[in-house]
């Protein structure tokens, strides 16, 4: 048994439309105070104006806030994002139900080689091999309508699970014990996963339109260019408790997506590299982390940042949902004319077929190199295509 600070790292006034919480003049000091109160130095963007009729001023402020965050950080929080807080909490609470299953049961939830999915869906566990620095397990899922996802049969019986008991507003107790899991608990987990997938897809479509405006592209350009959602996917992560000697959960990396979203529990451990320092993306109740990926970085010819980030394992279990809003694998990706020829700048990347890039990245994640000395260098980075 261990006592931990309650997961409520800070409350957000979701009725105030502030846009980015790093403004200027008089509001700047207030912004810093509010940002510190919510537990992090990351920009915070309120998306409420996009769900409100006749708030063009609010939409303009929020759009500018997203643009500024993409130029300076590439990593920011959003609130009032359209994903119900109840759904996020339910998904995080049900995640341990799946990962408490025996390894042989979880291993059944994996596609066979050679399936039609962009890459294999289902359960995976790192490290494979044992010298890999990352220590976590995850379930990779696609749009449920595509029929690629795999889940184990519903077993009823005694399982070891982690129970969270709230003792006050400040503390919770985590207890690991064996309890009887009734039928349909895995079904409820699957329902929560699929609901999260649908809501995060909607959020991706919204932010894609916002980025279209931020990048100064013709109206609807990105929605037309990236209208196929079959390469989007979500990873449900479980990170094992770390120790003083070994605490790597996910090595420093950049995302190969257009946009990534992270829903995380209260364990903490997600860091983003900013100006040479690791900045913690502390859990803030009700918020979602947004991460600009390599594809937007390439399209913008390095104007928008794709930040390096990592997960450091704490002495407790950590659960999170990471959604990757992608392009279809048959897309040819290169810097757009708006960031090159139209402004007289040379492209900083050569063009490439997206599927080639994604397959190289996923191969390094699911099948790390056999030699320990190659592990640090196993991930293909977007600099592979740099000019």
Q: Which of 138-152, 163-177, 316-330 has the highest mean pLDDT?
A: 316-330
Q: What is the distance between the alpha carbons of residues 208 and 325, in angstroms, rounded to a whole number?
A: 9
pLDDT band at 116; cut points 50, 70, 90: confident
**Cis peptide preceding 127, ω within 30 of 0:** yes
The least confident of 164-173, 234-243, 263-272, 348-357 is: 164-173
The least confident of 76-85, 137-146, 159-168, 261-270 is: 159-168
pLDDT surpasses 70 at 154: no
pLDDT surpasses 50 at 6: no
pLDDT surpasses 70 at 295: yes
User: Which residue would you say has higher pLDDT here, 338 or 29?
Assistant: 338
Provide mean pLDDT across the span 134-146: 90
| pLDDT of 114 | 60
Provide mean pLDDT across the span 311-334: 96
For helices 185-214 and 56-72, angle between their N-to-C axes, nearest 10 degrees: 90
pLDDT digits (tens, 9 = 90+) for 9-27: 333 333 333 333 333 333 3
| pLDDT of 171 | 53
**Cis peptide preceding 129, ω within 30 of 0:** yes
pLDDT digits (tens, 9 = 90+) for 346-382: 999 999 999 888 877 766 555 554 444 434 444 568 8
Q: What is the distance between the alpha carbons of residues 268 and 290, in angstroms, rounded to a whole number?
A: 16
pLDDT surpasses 50 at 150: yes
In angstroms, what CA-CA distances link 221 with 64, 213, 216, 227, 300? 19, 10, 10, 10, 13
pLDDT surpasses 90 at 34: no
| pLDDT of 322 | 98
Average pLDDT, the chain: 81
pLDDT digits (tens, 9 = 90+) for 156-205: 554 555 555 555 555 555 555 554 454 578 889 999 999 999 999 999 99
Inter-residue contact 268 to 283 (CB < 8 Å) = yes
List of E strands, 30-143: 44-46, 75-79, 122-126, 136-141
């Amino acid at each position: 048994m261990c006592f931990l600070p309650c997961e409520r790292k800070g409350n957000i006034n979701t009725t105030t439309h502030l846009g980015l919480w790093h403004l200027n003049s008089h509001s700047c000091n207030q912004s810093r105070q509010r940002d510190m109160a919510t537990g992090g130095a990351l920009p915070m963007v309120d998306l409420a104006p996009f769900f409100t009729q006749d708030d063009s001023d609010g939409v303009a402020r929020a759009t500018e806030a997203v643009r500024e965050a993409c130029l300076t950080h590439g990593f920011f929080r959003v609130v009032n994002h359209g994903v119900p807080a109840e759904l996020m909490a339910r998904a995080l609470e049900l995640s341990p139900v799946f990962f408490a299953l025996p390894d042989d049961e979880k291993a059944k939830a994996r596609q066979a080689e050679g399936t039609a999915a962009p890459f294999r869906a289902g359960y995976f566990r790192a490290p494979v091999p044992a010298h890999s620095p990352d220590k976590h397990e995850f379930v990779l899922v696609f749009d449920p309508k595509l029929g690629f996802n795999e889940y184990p049969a519903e077993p009823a019986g005694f399982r070891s699970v982690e129970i969270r008991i709230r003792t006050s507003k400040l503390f919770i107790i985590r207890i690991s014990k064996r309890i009887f899991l009734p039928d349909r608990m895995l079904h409820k987990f699957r329902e929560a996963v699929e609901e999260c997938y649908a809501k995060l897809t909607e959020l991706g479509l919204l932010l894609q339109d916002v980025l279209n405006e931020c990048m100064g592209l013709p109206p609807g350009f990105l929605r037309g260019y990236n209208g196929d959602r079959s390469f989007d996917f979500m990873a449900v992560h479980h990170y094992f408790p770390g120790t003083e000697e070994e605490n790597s959960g996910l090595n420093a990396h950049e995302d190969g997506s257009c946009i990534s979203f992270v829903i995380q529990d209260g364990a903490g451990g997600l860091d983003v590299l900013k100006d040479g320092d690791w900045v913690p993306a502390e859990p803030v109740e009700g918020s979602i982390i947004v991460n600009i990926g390599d594809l937007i970085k390439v399209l913008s010819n390095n104007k928008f940042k794709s930040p390096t980030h990592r997960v450091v394992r704490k002495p407790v279990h950590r659960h999170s949902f990471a959604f990757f809003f992608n392009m279809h694998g048959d897309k040819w990706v290169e810097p757009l004319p708006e960031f090159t020829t139209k402004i007289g700048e040379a492209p900083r990347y050569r063009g490439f077929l997206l599927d080639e890039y994604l397959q190289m990245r996923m191969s390094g994640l699911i099948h790390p190199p056999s030699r320990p000395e190659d592990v640090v260098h196993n991930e293909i980075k977007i600099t592979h295509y740099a000019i």
